[in-house]
Structure 1
Amino acid sequence: MDFTMAFQPIVDVSSGAVWAHEALVRGTAGQGAGWVLGQVTDATRYAFDQSCRVKAIELASTLPMNGARLSINFLPNAVYKAEACIRTTLAAARRTGFPTDRIVFEVTENERVVDHDHLKSIFNEYKRQGFLTAIDDFGSGYSGLNLLAEFQPDIIKLDMELTRSIDTERARRSIVKAILSVCEDLAITPIAEGIETADEAKTLRDLGVTLMQGYLFAKPAFEAVVTDPELSMLAA
């Protein structure tokens, strides 16, 4: 299956710098992630997962990352043994000269993980190898805070279902405050994703969130990175 990547920035609103670029799978003619993922079967899951990592690293190594991190989504159910399955990633990083300490591995909370011990072992191995680890779409999936009781990633990404309209909805603010308190206690870095309005961004910044991602700042760029995301709307 032929595919490529688009990249969407994760912005540090406190400094205006791009903190990371998330690699998002796309068809070679620009088709969305759903179109590509819809062609993945149980038989091809492992090969697809491995190919995504390599494609993201190879493309990122040719783009003006300017020291920003590269965030890669992985399929935990495609990893049969973490130390074996990471070899291709390490080889791609060495071949392209991309620093492994600038790679973040995201696992979506929406993908049901049958064996949490297995996922914990993956995260532990990735940390041992020097990668950062993240739970994507936090607050929208199967496990919620229970997932953090079993293992702690470096990062959690607050799902847009929590951040949407957070400036006007008290319940969402209260829930996010509680999650941020847990993050602080466990030394986990929060990222707010799906940000579409300046009021959402300002409310989250007031709550202490400085890393954000969403259409407000930049849409995913096809086989390219956005080095100057829009931040003027956050000016005091």
Structure 2
Amino acid sequence: MGSACSKCREDTALPFEFKMAFQPIVDLSAQRVWGYEALVRGVNGESALSVLNQVNEHIRYQFDQASRVMAIETAGALFAGRDLRLSINFMPNAVYEPSACIQKSLAAAKRAHFPHKNLMFEFTENERMTDPAHVQRIIDAYRKFGFWTALDDFGAGYSGLGLLARWQPDLIKIDMELLRDIHLSRAKQAIVAAIVGIAR
């Protein structure tokens, strides 16, 4: 790991505390919980936004690393012995050198006895990609490690089908706005059916 970036060697404490909540991901066809998405919360249950609003450019990397480690270690304690995926949101703009920056996550998975093949990293279409080629390097590196990748908020962000064609993640999470009241909207039904068809 001699090529590790300087950020990967920093260990600055965050100026605030947070915890994790876990939202189940359900496989409807199998009628079982397939995995959980890790979501940051304030120590007293405050929203993710209240936590993320405290993250600035100077601590973005430390927060991204700390939240990954906490998610993995907490999931390892809660879901020990169960074959479940763990979905973790990450900030592509906080990953400097993919193979180096993932080392703390791998170490956390080893400590928590959480199979790293069950880790899934989500990036959101809502975050403007300042360097698409860098995001491609992250995805390629994560696939080499055996991780799953997911595109979150699909249909709500900046590049839509362009991102999907370029990165072809393992999972697509359709934006809630397209799903809310879908039974009342033929337009939404047609759009979601088309997305499902593309995914297949």
Structure 1: segments with no counterpart, 5+ residues:
185-236
Deviation track 1:35-76 (CA, whole Å, cap 9, x = no partner) reads 000000000000000001000001001103621111100000
Q: Supply the distance in 2 between the matched residues of 1:49 and 1:118 (Cα, whole angstroms).
A: 17
Shift of 1:165: 1.2
Is 1:54 the equivalent of 2:56?
no
Q: Supply the distance in 1 between the matched residues of 2:162 and 2:187 (Cα, whole angstroms).
A: 20
Q: Which of the residues 32, 45, 61 maps onto 2:60?
A: 45
Q: Which of the residues 130, 135, 159 maps onto 2:146?
A: 130
Q: Please show how residues 119-198 of structure 1 align to structure 2 within 5 Å.
A: 119-184=135-200
In the other structure, the counterpart of 1:21 is: 36
Shift of 1:106: 0.5
Q: Supply the distance in 2 between the matched residues of 1:107 and 1:30 (Cα, whole angstroms).
A: 23
Letter of the 1:46 counterpart: Y
Q: Supply the distance in 2 between the matched residues of 1:56 and 1:80 (Cα, whole angstroms).
A: 20
Report the secondary structure of 1:24's partner residue: strand
Is 1:7 the equivalent of 2:22?
yes
Q: Which of the residues 98, 102, 114 maps onto 1:98?
A: 114
Report the secondary structure of 1:136's partner residue: strand
Shift of 1:34: 0.5
In the other structure, the counterpart of 1:67 is: 83
Shift of 1:81: 1.1
Report the secondary structure of 2:20's partner residue: strand
Runs of 4 or more off by more than 6 Å in structure 1? Answer: none
Is 1:115 the equivalent of 2:124?
no
Question: Over aligned residues, Cα RMSD in angstroms?
Answer: 0.9
Letter of the 2:60 counterpart: R
What TM-score do the two structures reach when normalised by structure 1? 0.76
Report the secondary structure of 1:121's partner residue: helix
Shift of 1:20: 0.8
Q: Which moved more, 1:88-97 or 1:38-47?
A: 88-97
Q: Which has the higher helix share?
A: 2
- Say how many residue pairs are matched: 184
Structure 2: segments with no counterpart, 5+ residues:
1-15
Report the secondary structure of 2:33's partner residue: strand
Identify which of structures 1 and 2 has the higher relative contact order when contacts are C-alpha pairs closer than 8 Å and 6+ apart.
Answer: 1
What TM-score do the two structures reach when normalised by structure 2? 0.90
Deviation track 1:198-220 (CA, whole Å, cap 9, x = no partner) reads xxxxxxxxxxxxxxxxxxxxxxx
In the other structure, the counterpart of 2:10 is: none
Q: Supply the distance in 2 between the matched residues of 1:123 and 1:166 (Cα, whole angstroms).
A: 31
